[in-house]
Structure 1
Amino acid sequence: MNEITLIGIDLGKHVFHLHAQDAKGREVFRKKLSRSQLLPFFSNLKAVTVVMEACAGSHWLARKLNAMGHVARLVSPQYVRPFVKSNKNDFVDAEAICEATSRPSMRFVEPRTEAQQLLAALHCVRESLVIERTATINRIHGILLEFGIVIPLSKITLRRLPDALAVHDLAPRLIQIIHRLHEHYRYLDQQVDDVERDLTAQLREDENAARLLSIPGIGTITASLLASEVGNVAQFACGRNFAASIGLVPRRHSTGGRSTLCGISKRGDKHLRHLLVQGARAVILRAGQRTDRLGAWIRSMLTRRHSNVVACAVANKLARIAWAVLTKHTPYDASRFECEV
């Protein structure tokens, strides 16, 4: 048997399909393993390069394989798709992963650490709780509107909602429904506060957090998500590459020597991109009070471009500053970073 140098894994919940190649790209074997068989198989195998798509469970498996002495690499699924042959199946997918990895110009995803995955999990939980809380508020508003009651559902009003409804002549059963929804809202609101406290506590353990928090427009939520998503900043050659990974650079369509720039590409983590854009809007609102070069640049942009375009441009700038801060291991300094990123 030829010596194995590369193994591609098509990941699944219960079953994993493996495609092994030698140094010349020739197939050595194909195997189908259950979850309980996968790690014992690699523990008895000579150290090789193992590649898989960056998806659910891939970061955990990459850490396990690296601990065994293998070299685990993750590939974005969008880069694997062009190498999938006709009559798609799981073994063909594993072969396509090997083929994509063999390209000299292929870009890989840095495996996350356990701490980074914990931060990402907290963000996932918080986002779902916020969505459910908003849905509950809208549900209360919609039910009351059906009975001709319009109450501004701000946080202060929601806290004293039962008192606000006492002045209206409502059916007891309707009051019971509203009270039930109100209790659900209070539970969700408390859960969001608890998760945010956990995020703040987690940030205290991260040395990069203070540097990220020094950047204008970046608060606790954005800093913690940046810390979990960026990983090893050395994987990005420059700040623009990092901004491109979040989807904050223009899409380009070039043909016949003519280059056309479109809107932002919207690749990568949409939640992180959303937070950076909202942070950029906060910076724009206070641009008139800034006396540094960043403020002057924003004011100049506002005279030439729409505010939404400026918000994306500032978000791009914030992403580049975050890369520079993490790369240089120093807090944000307006005079030092604005010309370099």
Structure 2
Amino acid sequence: MDADRSPVLLRELDGFFAGAIPPSLAVELSKVTFLDDFGALVLIELKRLMMRTNGAFRLENPSVEIQQVLKTFQFENLEKEASLPKKKKTGVLVRLGDSAIAHVRDFRYLISFIGAIVLALLYVCRHPRSLRTEDTFSCMQRTGVDALPIVCLISFLLGLIMAFMSSVQLKQFGANIYVASLVSLSMVRELGPIMTAIIVAGRSGSSFAAEIGTMKISEEVDALFTMGFDPTRFLVLPKLIAAVIVVPMLTLFSDVFAILGGLLVGVTMLDLTTSAYMSQTMKTLSSFDITLGLVKSGVFAMLIAWIGCLRGFQAQGGAASVGQATTSAVVSSIFLIILTDSMFSVVLRYW
């Protein structure tokens, strides 16, 4: 039974077992003088065929040489091929319970992370030199300066669109001048902080999550802890402080460029003068409106940095986990921004 004879044997055996497979099979090897790898594979296929049908299989009168060859292939240890287990479908209640447990675990980690940030802030207040100032300035540049062009462009276009759409209605009543009031008040109190925060969440929040998530996957965070560094103070605080400082500044630029966009529509389409438009804007806005917008943007900045770093620390597994953490950071940040803004509106309504 060698390489030349084995294909012939396999064809003959296929024809023999085409009709029905016997309940037992005995292979007589007394006249077989030579057995190589191909012949051993023929015997292995026969044994597997009988095992699949729960039939009996045995070898009769194998020589010592044949036994040595079969021992090389662990012929006696061949077992029945295990069928792949079918994945059980989980019920609705099981999935609901798993989701609830995951959210509770996530909430516990969220609370502990807030505590770690508070402790790190207290430590930095007592030891200011422990803050990584170079990293803080670098985060301020990436979060604020690099985002300035896109924030200004979007705010300018948003102010232009608001002025154009509102002028269509106000022009019918001869109230063109109130376009300035609508654009300035809506941008300074609501849309300016929200749009700026959403842009920062998409740019910097995702960057924070990806950076820390990559460090967590590559065990750099564990290395920092092993060397005696506090990962929260080392990685989170520079990003948090940088975001809280620069996002209100970005909001101011957003308000100014949105007013300029409305000014463009007022001057070119509504026959308003620049001085009249700016005078109406100044009459409409108060210091409380500007302060409220800055406070909102500061709170939004804390939420963005906090949730971005949190999702980064929660990354585990492989590269796919970093992508999931980045997506979750952006979605969670936008949700918290809208939720917090609605809470501000309700509180101010009944205050």
What is the TM-score normalised by the length of structure 2?
A: 0.24
Higher relative contact order (CA 8 A, sep 6+): 2
Higher-strand-fraction structure: 1
